[in-house]
Amino acid sequence: MSDILFEVEGHVATITLNRPDRLNAISGPMLSSLSDKLLEYDQARDVRVIVLTGAGRGFCAGLDLKDTAAESGGSGDLGAGGGGVPKIAETPPFVLRRLDTPVLCALNGPAAGYGMDLALGCDFVIASDRATFMPPVNRGVIPESGGTWLLPRLVGWQKACEITLLARKLGAEDIERLGLANRVIPHDGFEAEVAEWAAELAGRAPLAIAAAKRSMRLGMDSTFEANSHHVMAELMQLFNSKDFREGLASFIEKRAPKYEGR
């Protein structure tokens, strides 16, 4: 069986980390495969939302340190790009920042270290009530894959320090309280909730979704004025799209729109 499973149904692509016996710990080849597939789906016209989840009872236990050290020649250096380990700028957390297609994390269980960063790097998090987060400081390392950048922006400085430096295990109730998930759902209804969110996203105008995501992403690192100019440029292109005309027509005709991404 492959360590990562890929499936496309309708406009929804699902990526499943598939090492349930290791709580889906990620090896170097898995990093490369995941990055490549994320980029491929982002360019696929028929894919309008990507769901990222884990097989079995866990989402991702983090990097498989034993395998990764072997693949990088014993150094454990993720930035080297040797032995099947991608250069750091080509790893999934960095790739996620470049995608225009929305990515929904279906957080089905525990996520630790790299797995926690991977979940937080997604655009949406729907969590099972069995989900947990475990920051890595107690292992003698830091969140190396986006966590130190993401957490202060997601929850503010003091809460980010609480999460990262105290490194306490966060249960589902903590994830919900801290706003680290869009929804926390009883496990029995978790898959149905994920499917509902994915279907709703897939039904939205894909060009507008991509433009909105780009604008928000750029807005995090630019002034209000600079972002406003970017938004107007995106808007001018959308006005010329078939999807815009379909959205306007469906509103006037009081029917559901049928978007084509054109």
pLDDT digits (tens, 9 = 90+) for 80-137: 455 556 677 688 988 999 999 999 999 999 999 999 999 999 999 999 999 999 998 8
pLDDT, one tens digit per residue, over 49-60 is 999 999 999 999
State which amino acid sits at residue 148.
Answer: T
Q: Is the distance from CB of 29 to CB of 3 less than 8 angstroms?
A: yes
Q: Which tokens is 135 given?
A: 């920051």
Task: Please check the confidence at residue 258 and state whether its pLDDT lies above 50.
Answer: yes
pLDDT bucket at 230, cuts 50 / 70 / 90: confident
Q: Which fold has domain 4-202?
A: 2-enoyl-CoA Hydratase; Chain A, domain 1 (3.90.226)
| C-alpha to C-alpha distance for 230 and 49, rounded to whole angstroms | 23
| C-alpha to C-alpha distance for 49 and 15, rounded to whole angstroms | 11
| C-alpha to C-alpha distance for 152 and 149, rounded to whole angstroms | 6
Other residues' Cβ atoms within 10 Å of the Cβ of residue 201: 22
Task: Please check the confidence at residue 143 and state whether its pLDDT lies above 90.
Answer: no
What's the mean pLDDT in 187-201? 97
pLDDT bucket at 75, cuts 50 / 70 / 90: very low
Buried b (16+ CB within 10 A) or exposed e, 230-240: bbeebeeebee
Range with the lowest mean pLDDT among 78-82, 177-181, 183-187, 208-212? 78-82
Would the pTM of this model clear 0.85, i.e. be above it?
Answer: yes
Q: What is the DSSP letter of 3?
A: S
Each domain of the chain, given as residue ranges in start order, spans 4-202, 206-253
Per-residue pLDDT, 1: 65
